[in-house]
Structure 1
Amino acid sequence: MQLTLHSPLDMHLHLRDGQMLQTVAPLSAKSFAGALVMPNLVPPVTTKEMVQSYKERIKEAMGDEVFEPYMTLFFRPEYDYAFLADIKDSILAIKLYPAGITTNSEDGVDNFSVEALAPTLEAMSELGIPLCVHGETNGFVMDREAEFIPIYERIAKRFPDLKIIMEHITTKDAVDALMKYENLYATITLHHLYITLDDVAGGLLQPHLFCKPIAKRPEDRMALRKVALMAHEKVMFGSDSAPHPRDKKEAPGCAAGVFTAPIALPALAQLFEAAGVLENLQKFVSDNAQNIYGITPPKKEVKLVKEPFEVPSSYNNVVPMFAGESLAWRIAGGI
């Protein structure tokens, strides 16, 4: 049994920089035709020159694969219309991080009043630049996403022409909010479709499944699966694949992030087939993103084969999800 995916896209990806970029970029480029690349480097990507330089490093790292890195800018409240008009053709979206809420987000936003954000959001709305948001407060860890939803709602109401992407949603509350506003959309990760908090900390602690936002309850996973498996037009795949070296994961102060880039498509095929909706995978991993962002990705066919795939224990010291386990599908040609 085979499945051909046409121009699959990962609309939330961390490629890092330096040696880590050299390790992980070829893996995403093998599986996908393009990806939305996150800007939370050190220092964060905040200028046109930084965007262009980072894109050049990504293209160099991925070799000859057909792959388009869609670039993002790290949100700053002081961006004005002239600055954004000049950079618009170099980016696909702007990513907003609450200050200190996740990896390399210390320079993020600490004032979420609409008035404080309005100058940049008004310019983005006028220029048609989508806003991607890591939607968490710094409250109790299980409630952070739910507590952020009123902020989404205020922005969605104030800027109805602004496309807002709720990144890596994890809760039923987020799914419900998504359906209330025409200009809200969302990415859903592989790991949040598979795991709950019990998989992370219900027995021995599983550091390679620790992420932000943290995995939630079974009823939350069920809500995510419902909209993902039906490939609802408001949701799309975004892996939030976040590589860290083994010594940063298996350590005190475990780094947050699940590395899924090389196993994402086989694991998604396994999940969609088990639900009897394998035909919906194309929409979830490509068509919906094309419609939401208004993009035409490079033409690329990725063939999946229904054969066991033994997931490597690591990729150059980066441990993937399902390491050492067997998945029912593999990418033709290997990865």
Structure 2
Amino acid sequence: MLILHSPMDMHVHLRQGDMLALVAPHTARDFAAAVVMPNLTPPVTSLAQVLDYRQEILRVTGESFTPFMTLFFRAYSREELLAARPHIIGLKLYPAGMTTNSEDGLADMRQANATLAIMEELGIPLLIHGEGCGFVMDREAAFLPVVREWAGAFPRLRIVLEHVTTEAGVKLLDRFENLFATITLHHLFITLDDVLGGLMRPHLFCKPVAKRPEDRDALRRAALDHPQAFFGSDTAPHPVTAKEAPGCAAGIFSAPVALPALAGLFEELDALDRLQAFVSDRACAAYGLTPMARDVRLERSAWTVPQSIGCVVPYLAGQSLDWRVVD
């Protein structure tokens, strides 16, 4: 038996409407809390939208789960952010057009400074989809100079490089005490070769794209040991009709398998005793959180991941896992 105390997923996409009702219970079953992304249609850009979306989530999940809410980054006034601060965990910045529903994101990073200064003053963290323009494998590297600039210019602003995918991104954590990173489940397992090396596997296509084996290995080392790296699944469901189609949607639905697959990986790496830090303790330290007390139990018991959950194909569909969450 493995007991995790208040595990948290620090990056989830819960969607809206029927998709929310389908996927949110899987996150709420296995995690005490999660950081909810704001790239909806339309994006979450006001306190009223934050409060409405939070209530929509809780109607599905119940009160034993805490959705940590975020605002979609735009130019905000101090008054707006002061009013929103008690209800959000941070602002999520998307470069324009870099991922799903990011068309309203920031096109010129220089326009962020005024809002970043207010966030630093008020103690509101910045969460970043850290990709710039250019060749798809180099987009995270292209954005790292922006991260370095902001981390240096705003030393009291907590910055989270979401779903870090490169060895260079991990190394950047060592340069700034105010810089943190989330690491996904799938980037701990796959490389680009898994997606495109044989027949294309659309259900492994995500953004940022999976990178090289050496990048995956750097992420594994950080997951085990780096105090500024913690778990954020970036679980991002799309219906099978959007995945197995021209213009394949980017996103991997990993919520149903996140903790069992992590337990298997950490056991394989002889590091089960470090899973608690990765899925809770480091995030609590980074954000100054005290999550609701809730123990989640896993047992060694083989099970097969279903081929589909409603209209969505989950990560590791059809594969056998050695650990399962016990109610």
Is TM (by shorter chain) over 0.5? yes
Rounded to whole Å, the distance in 1 between the matches of 2:223 and 2:104 is 32
Partner of 2:30: 31
Contact 1:269 1:329 in 2 (8 A): yes
The reply to whether residue 281 of structure 1 matches residue 275 of structure 2 is yes
Partner of 1:81: 78
Contact 1:80 1:119 in 2 (8 A): no
Structure 1 segments, 4+ long, off by >4 Å, are none
Supply the AA of the counterpart residue of 2:79: A
Partner of 1:209: 204
Q: Per-residue CA shift, 1:41-82, capped at 9, x if unaligned?
A: 000000000000000000001136x11000000000x21111
The reply to whether residue 314 of structure 1 matches residue 308 of structure 2 is yes
- Return 5+ residue gaps in structure 1 as ranges: none
Partner of 2:45: 46
Aligned with 2:253: secondary structure? coil
Partner of 2:4: 5
Partner of 1:104: 101
Q: Per-residue CA shift, 1:246-290, capped at 9, x if unaligned?
A: 110011100000110010000000000000000000000001111
**TM-score, normalising length: structure 2:** 0.99
The match for 1:185 among 176, 180, 194 is 180
Rounded to whole Å, the distance in 1 between the matches of 2:117 and 2:325 is 43
Supply the AA of the counterpart residue of 1:63: G
Rounded to whole Å, the distance in 1 between the matches of 2:313 and 2:238 is 8
Supply the AA of the counterpart residue of 1:204: L
Cα RMSD, aligned residues only = 0.7
Q: How many angstroms does 1:138 deviate by?
A: 2.0
Aligned with 1:161: secondary structure? coil
Partner of 1:301: 295
Rounded to whole Å, the distance in 2 between the matches of 1:264 and 1:310 is 14
Supply the AA of the counterpart residue of 1:48: L
Supply the AA of the counterpart residue of 2:324: R
Q: Per-residue CA shift, 1:98-143, capped at 9, x if unaligned?
A: 0000000000000012xx2111001000000000000001210000
Rounded to whole Å, the distance in 2 between the matches of 1:260 and 1:125 is 33
Q: How many angstroms does 1:309 deviate by?
A: 1.8
The reply to whether residue 93 of structure 1 matches residue 90 of structure 2 is yes
Q: How many angstroms does 1:233 deviate by?
A: 1.0
Q: 277-286 vs 221-230, which deviates more?
A: 221-230
**TM-score, normalising length: structure 1:** 0.97
Supply the AA of the counterpart residue of 2:5: H
Aligned with 1:43: secondary structure? coil
Contact 2:92 2:128 in 1 (8 A): yes
Q: How many angstroms does 1:314 deviate by?
A: 1.1
Q: Percent same amino acid among aligned pairs?
A: 57
Q: How many angstroms does 1:6 deviate by?
A: 0.6
Partner of 1:72: 70
- Return 5+ residue gaps in structure 2 as ranges: none
Supply the AA of the counterpart residue of 1:43: P
Partner of 2:326: 332
Contact 2:133 2:142 in 1 (8 A): no
Contact 1:27 1:262 in 2 (8 A): yes
Contact 1:132 1:164 in 2 (8 A): yes
